[in-house]
Structure 1
């Protein structure tokens, strides 16, 4: 059975990195915990004094003093505990949020091959679920562990002061307790790792099918989905049981050890009291310290339990953070402004080892021109567009924009100079402004309104109760397909790209909306290069050049008017037979 082994330097590295900015809070927490520790050690002395004074005191003054001190220290200890809890929760929240942000940012920077091989739910489980288990690890793990160990040491020192026999007996109890807990812990750790993994798999499956619930019901696949749902739950249950048994074994071991500790304290106290070596107040104090010792040992046990959960989570988070994107940032060669020329130089690409999706693609599109990209479904049209955005890297050849190899540019700059509109539009929960600008506050409202007007959305915008501040529903609820598509066009043109890619962008539009879009696009494509991926003949009428793909290879490339006039060209035959029929 595999066991997680996290090097101590990884623990230390995480704590140092994410707690560095909270030094004052950590110092305050340490001071409060030490103050609480001292009060826990002192209070049993008051009890002993109270009991011994009650047996032989002629007045109640000493009793009142002892009782007052005990109550006062107890109340103060509770106040200190509340303060320490408040500070530790803040520390944990801030640290885990920072880690959560780093992991989320790292996931957003990974290439499409990673996101294709990991479901959304599985990624969310890592970003949220695994990091949640580290909250206690960040908030007070080291400080609490050290303070509890110091409390145990302090109790042992005080017990040795009462007699070496008591001290040795309690030392044996502590060593046996900590050894037993640590021994049991190593059997439970692997099960927590498996539990986190099956949890990620389950939520990944659930998120995927909840997102596609309409297709599931429309195609009668609800039974299959529920069967898979129950299969995952049946797989989850035994793993959860084994993880729970690991926790239960630690808990039962602690109870047994505490019982042994009480027995040792009872036997030693009875022996010493019968010999007259200790008073009845000291007997009670020994029992009090024994009970008090159970608390830090119990805390150490729960800390070990949290540590075993942290072991599994740290492994998974570290694996995620160590995952490097296949697409690396370039050296920073700038892309020229204005419309961009597009060059594919003997480009070959495949998603996996095997048949190439694109094979030997070689063409040049002058800046400011419009390319009509045609081909049957699966011919590689959308893949070609993704390669220009470097969602994937090619295995052979070179792609240049404005004469600059795209591998040499920064990804942020590259994707800022290319605007892409697909037939599947993502509308996010947020205002119209946020959906248009993706939270870029540098874009003025006047420019957004001007672009919306040019796209014919002025009447739609004026119908919204709060204009640009109106909230849109996630997934585009409340918007027609045409309105969502036009909003996607507005997003692209607000970024002022040098190259625009329209991937079946008008396939969901009704004829009236498509006509409106055509007029707006004609105006907005001025001084820009454009690639139009289309199935319909009308869509490529504005193209200067035509490129036809067939099974990942260029079947035909040339001037649209020349190809249309050539009766032997494939494009001419498409026009004669009806392009839609030939591309099916």
Structure 2
């Protein structure tokens, strides 16, 4: 009876320990996953916020698809690192160290030799890891390029299909995928040695154990049981070594992604806030004082040309390039004008004349390379002396291409700002004369904009006008839509624009004659220079003016 009771007690104890071990494993897995998701989501949020704070110079050279892969794809590679990798790698390493200690306790000569084998294996693993991380980093970089290309391709699907460009798009896709395959194969070929380490290290340890075991047994220093125990200990570490091998592969990918994440965090904006000078309420005056501008990539091209000319002996290292070369790359040259408050400026010019660049400078997406841009009312403030958030608060822009989100009309109007209540939204739409348009939508403010219900180009423009009206800016920049609209939407749009511009300063990039009629002042641009600037009424009646000639030849055709 006593033996049976002891057996039952032992069985219950064993079962309890087994259940407890599983519960601990379950709890550890749960905690690890919670930590992984929390850490990676916070990291994604920080990366996305960091990218949003970077200026247009950065975004001009990095495609949206590439950034999505870097913000999400690279962070995904760290999920296992945060959840289980450290715990599993640490426990396996502790088990290997424990076995080595037991071997030292059995016989110091066996322990020393097996430790030496393990140390050599560790050094080889470290060397392979140093060579593998850059290779996986190259794979991740190419994958980001691939996703950037896919984003461009999917965005331009309609254009690609109508122009029968699919074969050329697929050819480039195949090239990128083949490059990715070659880079992955290069990493995997070297990774074979990492996979082989859990086989090679125990095999060498078995050889050492056999040689020492045979010698010590024949010398009567060790019993056959002790020799068997050495072999058993070595067999025990095979499992942890395989685990370490798998975890090291994960660690390599995690390290490659971590390097890329660190590189992205290292990117810093080139535009910095000034001393937080506030812009006044009400309509703003605009002053351009000798403003010249050239894009960053063109600056790099000029610097490269200068270095090539210096190497050829055409110019000294510290000489500038000829003015013709500089002007060929300059988008704006010596732009000077003043627009009083509550006045409307119509910008005219052919494509590439610098109209859009002026609007970008007013929003301080870029800083001019020469001169200054000032806003204010009476006392003018250089844009470089105020904050970017203050500029966004006081300057509103309606672009040709309106960005719509897969969300409700309410969220698209407020841009997810919960502080704007429905009463304020409805009042703004009433004031703009857009309440009828809203009532025509299936669910009013709750109408969801997605693939099943989207807005026409004209409706999107109406929504963009309401967005800007809600912010109550002192300066409105309107890049007029060049597409033709139906008469009903056109009438709504005209009334909304009239209301938006009332009591505000405005800069309109005009494409049609009736839009120009709103302007008080006209500026005609050509090759980045002001060809003409003056009051619309005066220029329209002056046969010698550029504006007069544009009106005579047909504005839409002349500035296309």
**Contact map agreement 1:455 1:517 (CA 8 A) in 2:** no
- Aligned runs of 1:355-504 on 2, under 5 Å? 355-402=329-376, 403-473=380-450, 478-504=454-480
Q: Which moved more, 1:456-465 or 1:555-564?
A: 456-465
Q: What is the aligned partner in structure 1 of residue 137 from structure 2? A: 193
Q: Deviations over 1:144-164 (max 9, x none)?
A: 444433322223333444444
- Which consecutive residues of structure 2, in runs of 5 or more, have no partner in the other structure? 300-325
- Aligned runs of 1:556-571 on 2, under 5 Å? 556-571=532-547
Q: What is the aligned partner in structure 2 of residue 183 from structure 1? A: 127
Choose which of 497, 501, 506 in structure 2 pairs with 1:530: 506
**Contact map agreement 2:396 2:477 (CA 8 A) in 1:** yes
Q: What is the aligned partner in structure 2 of residue 299 from structure 1? A: 243
Shift of 1:472: 0.7
Shift of 1:538: 0.5
Residues 537, 349 of structure 1: alpha-carbon distance in 2 compared, 3 angstrom cutoff: same
Choose which of 525, 529, 554 in structure 1 pairs with 2:530: 554
SS of structure 2 residue aligned to 1:532 = strand
**Contact map agreement 1:202 1:232 (CA 8 A) in 2:** yes
Q: Which moved more, 1:83-92 or 1:492-501?
A: 83-92
SS of structure 1 residue aligned to 2:237 = helix
**Contact map agreement 2:335 2:530 (CA 8 A) in 1:** yes
Q: What is the aligned partner in structure 1 of residue 40 from structure 2? A: 96
Residues 294, 195 of structure 1: alpha-carbon distance in 2 compared, 3 angstrom cutoff: same
Shift of 1:69: 5.4
Shift of 1:220: 1.4
Shift of 1:279: 7.7
Q: What is the aligned partner in structure 2 of residue 582 from structure 1? A: 558
C-alpha distance in 2 between matches for 1:550 and 1:148? 71
- Superposition CA RMSD, Å: 2.7
**Contact map agreement 2:29 2:84 (CA 8 A) in 1:** no
C-alpha distance in 2 between matches for 1:317 and 1:225? 29
Shift of 1:74: 4.1
Shift of 1:201: 1.1
Q: How many residues get paired?
A: 525
Shift of 1:304: 2.8
C-alpha distance in 1 between matches for 2:480 and 2:439? 28
TM-score by length of 1: 0.83
SS of structure 2 residue aligned to 1:509 = coil
Q: Deviations over 1:471-502 (max 9, x none)?
A: 1116x952111111101111111111111111
- Which consecutive residues of structure 1, in runs of 5 or more, have no partner in the other structure? 1-57
Is 1:148–2:122 an aligned residue pair? no
Q: What is the aligned partner in structure 2 of residue 32 from structure 1? A: none
Q: Deviations over 1:304-331 (max 9, x none)?
A: 3233223322222222211122222222
Residues 295, 64 of structure 1: alpha-carbon distance in 2 compared, 3 angstrom cutoff: farther
Shift of 1:186: 3.0
Choose which of 153, 158, 162 in structure 2 pairs with 1:218: 162
Q: What is the aligned partner in structure 2 of residue 315 from structure 1? A: 259
TM-score by length of 2: 0.86
C-alpha distance in 1 between matches for 2:216 and 2:261? 54
Residues 182, 74 of structure 1: alpha-carbon distance in 2 compared, 3 angstrom cutoff: farther
SS of structure 2 residue aligned to 1:568 = coil
SS of structure 2 residue aligned to 1:430 = coil
Shift of 1:248: 2.3
Q: What is the aligned partner in structure 1 of residue 76 from structure 2? A: 132
Shift of 1:211: 0.7
C-alpha distance in 1 between matches for 2:211 and 2:29? 37
Residues 559, 153 of structure 1: alpha-carbon distance in 2 compared, 3 angstrom cutoff: same
**Contact map agreement 1:481 1:508 (CA 8 A) in 2:** no
